[in-house]
Amino acid sequence: MFKNERKKFVYMAINLRERGFTLLSTLLIILIISITMPLLTSLLSSISYSTNDDTFSIQHFFYFLRNDLLAAVDYKVEHNKLFLDLPSKETAMIEKYGSVIRRQIDGKGHEIYLRDVKELTFKPKSYGVYTKVTSIQGEIYEKTIIFYE
């Protein structure tokens, strides 16, 4: 060796508290995750919640129906269809069409009032109109719209 040559080396200080993951600790973490994941997924899938969307939709339908009836000059019920004579000399028809309740003016247009309907029944009363709506889920909603004089 020459006098001026020195050995080159790298020095890296390692603190005992700053160790990385060992194989054993990594395997332990994987084991814990693999045990808890199926438990968490079954727990989350067992949680159920219910919404009141159908109830709100049907309440809105009854609200629109009431407003239409109060604005009408005259009405009649034929074959579970409600015909309303409007002040503008037009006739509005409310009926079940497929699985929806629709409103048409003079047989034109297609305004949907309610979806997912199994059955719709209108019955005229001396003091108003009785309406019964059965949803696809089988829930029955009834309302009598009363005319006040």
Domain ranges of the chain: 53-146
Please identify which residue in the block is written with the tokens 């890296």: 12
The C-alpha atoms of residue 31 and residue 21 are separated, in whole angstroms, by 15
Tell me the per-residue pLDDT of 9-59, one tens digit each, with 9 for 90 and over. 666 666 666 666 688 888 999 999 999 999 888 888 888 777 788 889 999
Looking at the chain, the whole-number percentage of residues with pLDDT higher than 90 is 64
| pTM, to two decimals | 0.66
CB-based contact 131:121 (threshold 8 Å): yes
The C-alpha atoms of residue 83 and residue 95 are separated, in whole angstroms, by 9
Q: Is the dihedral of CA 135, 81, 146, 59 positive or negative?
A: positive
Q: Which two tokens stand for residue 117?
A: 């309907």
